[in-house]
Chain A
């Protein structure tokens, strides 16, 4: 019986992967050892566009179980655990997010839903469902550079910062990374003066983001500490955001990541706030 179960699983998994189709990620020719990447270096807009797609738009939709551990400088920990569903309305454009909280227990079954608009002029639509009151609350669009659930990740880190908000400059190319410097077009609206992103040359995954304050001092780092290929898509499964000023950091671990699961549009409506869909439960 156990064997039969295993076989079923393997077949299911294999068909899932093949159903995933060709990944969107460009797979450049692997340079031989010691070769100093003779291929043509793409222009900076191509790099940041690809990196944006790899970081936030893998597959048509996706889900993950996320565990966040927030650790302050005294070593005190807080845990947040949630299942996140994402569906792209348009590749590289609008998206819908459904975040179902599992931990801490007093926030269990709270749901946070976002209809994200890629156009920076249009505010996102956000809802919060409070289960004890059975209340669907509409939340005013907020500063996207506010902490997400009290962690070191900001709303903008979770759902992506619009490329149109910064100017981009390729400042360095190493064997492994393209390093892009991003300067905000409206510096008054953000707390940083610029940030550098190290983008993996093979996968186009942003691996490290370093934020500099108004005095050009490095104060905040987000690092992808583990990347796995899932259904052909390179996927960050562990990342850490650190605040160098306060010594506080947040580790984010992703498990049960799946892409192209065929999430229906109506999951991202009021109906499913009251009762999260199967996909958002485990």
Chain B
């Protein structure tokens, strides 16, 4: 924690230094070059400042003996600074958070990067950034960039599902195909469920747990040695978007156990996949496929490391009425080497070979599109569990927005993916002033 705070501070100082240096460069070069001087005066200050102030508060609807009643209780100031210079765009976005659940103040740098186009055929973005790709709607196969499941489940804005990466992204463009290469010099894990805010199924204890058993992890943490590499090769053919993906890194949320030290670990993961997205009938269809190769357990015999998996997604979205859209997805996780898993699994709560999930999204805009009503539901017929996300978002003015919603979990079994979060069912409200 202390280390990451120090890093954050360094990042901020570094960025301010870069920006002020450029600002200075503007004013000195102006003396020799009247045109540049003019440009800088015309555009005013070289930094655009935006952001928002938000208060968000949420409560559990049932008692959870391992967690506080408050699911989220925070105020948040986001500052978003961008500077468009001749040679690059520089961006900094950070949140200052007063959090009453953890009783801490925190500073979360969301983005701090430099973007440049060194050549016509190349884009380069270096620094802290939010990365996304793949074809799914709130379902990810080949997008192995860090997610913040904690924020997602407690009812923060959906933008917080994406956690930042400290990475360099190079994009190459050509008429044959485009290529993205993302190098993360030190592994960026998910902000996964570990018990401090959300109770979960602890398989070691064989029961639900929370703040009494916060999951400790042994995370690959060495610069350059514990790095991640993600690539995407993509092409648009008649507005059908085809993509191939590759990933070399680690399971993003703990994918194994170190039995001797009773720590969760992030075993090696390689992933290969493909997707296509485009118009089908009156709607948009997508297909995505991924092969997760769990490199430290190729045979599937090691009960302490996740097995390899095939993952598959098929989706379809369509407008079904005025300002009313619907979306359906079918998602499958298919465990490879299942018999080895079954043999080596000690507890009676072995998972099924296949985890089937269906998702349904309905979104309706009302009041001149100022009120958005939406509900997103995950339903797993194999796990027999459900996760629903109803939400109302009302734009009271150009600057002020209100948010009311809920995260509803239920299931037959306390160990399934969504079923384990039953006691975390919550209702939240948020108010945000953007500037």
Contacts and interface: CB of A to CB of B under 8 A. Distances in A.
B173 A125 contact: no
Interface string A266-282: 10011100110000010
B206 interface: no
Contacts of A214: none
Contacts, number: 96
A125 B123 contact: no
A141 B130 contact: no
B322 interface: yes
A103 B369 contact: no
A146 interface: yes
Interface string A95-112: 000000001111010000
Query: Do most interface residues of chain B lie in helix, strand or loop, or is the interface mixed?
Result: strand
A271 B123 contact: yes
B396 to A, nearest CB: 10
A193 to B, nearest CB: 18
Interface in A72-94: 72, 78-79
Interface stretch (B9-17, B223-231, B343-351, B397-405): B397-405
A123 interface: yes
Interface stretch (B157-165, B304-312, B352-360): B157-165
Contacts of A103: 398
B284 A139 contact: yes
Contacts of A149: 369
A10 interface: no
B434 A140 contact: no
A125 B123 CA distance: 25
B374 interface: no
Nearest to A1: B34
Contacts of B161: 133
B370 A275 contact: no
Contacts of B64: none
B317 A140 contact: yes
A220 interface: no
A79 B399 CA distance: 10
A78 B239 contact: no
Contacts of B282: 123, 140-141
Contact of B319 (A108, A143, A269): A143
Contacts of B150: none
Interface residues of B, number: 49
B162 A133 contact: yes
A140 B129 CA distance: 28
Interface in B308-332: 317-319, 322-323, 325
B215 interface: no
A24 interface: no
B236 A150 contact: no
A22 B263 CA distance: 75
Given A104-B399, A140-B282, A70 B368 contact: yes
Given A104-B398, A105-B399, A125 B239 contact: yes
Interface of B: 34-35, 38, 50, 52, 84, 89, 115, 123, 129-132, 157-159, 161-162, 171, 173, 178, 234, 236, 239, 241, 277-279, 282-284, 286, 317-319, 322-323, 325, 368-370, 395, 397-399, 401, 432, 434-435
Interface of A: 1, 4-5, 70, 72, 78-79, 103-106, 108, 115, 123, 125, 130, 132-136, 138-143, 146-147, 149-150, 248, 266, 269-271, 274-275, 281
18 contacts: A4-B34, A5-B34, A70-B368, A78-B398, A104-B398, A105-B50, A106-B52, A106-B401, A106-B434, A115-B239, A138-B278, A140-B283, A143-B319, A147-B323, A150-B370, A270-B234, A270-B236, A275-B89
